[in-house]
Amino acid sequence: MSKNEKKQNAKENFSNTKEKNKKEIVKKSFPPQNAEVENKGRILRIMQKDIEGGMKIYPGLTKIKGISWSLSNAACKKMGLDKNRKIESLTESEIKKIEEFLKNPDIPKYLKNRQKDFETGKDEHLIGANLELRKEFDIKILKKIKSYRGYRHSAGLPVRGQRTRAHFRKNRTKGAGIKKKSE
């Protein structure tokens, strides 16, 4: 065999393997797009938060800011919902019922996230954007009255009494204040 014949045989073998690979790829085609949509489930909006329909009610409610696991459990028990039921199976009336309960929860005061409010003195439970706004407003008040916690917030230091020797250093010189061992 001459060099030209060898090259031609190599090209033919290469093109044959390409065609075989194409046939294999065609065999491994993807399922139709409709099947993907059915498996994905619908997305429901509860209290201005999108929650995947494939989740169960108990962990799904905790995706809403301000709802803890214990509050989610209490909500399921008070409304008589099965915790292991999928969110996509909820009807519109059940979703409205959940929203009404979460706006004004009938739960013990130790489960509420705002006990003895500054202005009103009442126990209430805040959810979502209301919780974020109230938290920011409280921090502004602490800074304004120049309390210890307000100073710590404005300085960017820990507020709740943690030690700061090793942590909360934020790119300052690492060796400052630490003596090196001398031999």
Residue 175 pLDDT level (bands cut at 50, 70, 90): low
Within-domain flag for 89: yes
Within-domain flag for 91: yes
Domain residues for the domain of 54 are 39-110
Within-domain flag for 129: no
Where residue 66 falls (left for φ over 0; alpha for ψ -120 to 50; beta otherwise) is left
How far apart CA 121 and CA 16 sit, in angstroms, is: 82
Tens of pLDDT, residue by residue over 77-107, are 988 988 898 888 888 898 899 889 988 888 8
Within-domain flag for 5: no
Within-domain flag for 100: yes
52 phi and psi angles, rounded to 5 deg: -65, 140
Q: Is the pLDDT of residue 136 over 80?
A: yes
Q: Is the pLDDT of residue 23 over 50?
A: yes
Instruction: Work out how many domains the chain is built from and give that number.
Output: 1
Residue 41: per-residue pLDDT:
65
More confident residue, 38 or 96: 96
A 10 A CB-CB count for 87 gives 25
Q: Are 41 and 88 in contact (CB under 8 A)?
A: yes
Within-domain flag for 85: yes
Residue 19: per-residue pLDDT:
61
Within-domain flag for 156: no
Within-domain flag for 142: no
A 10 A CB-CB count for 144 gives 9
Residue 35: per-residue pLDDT:
39
Residue 40: per-residue pLDDT:
52
CATH number, domain containing residue 53 = 1.10.8.50
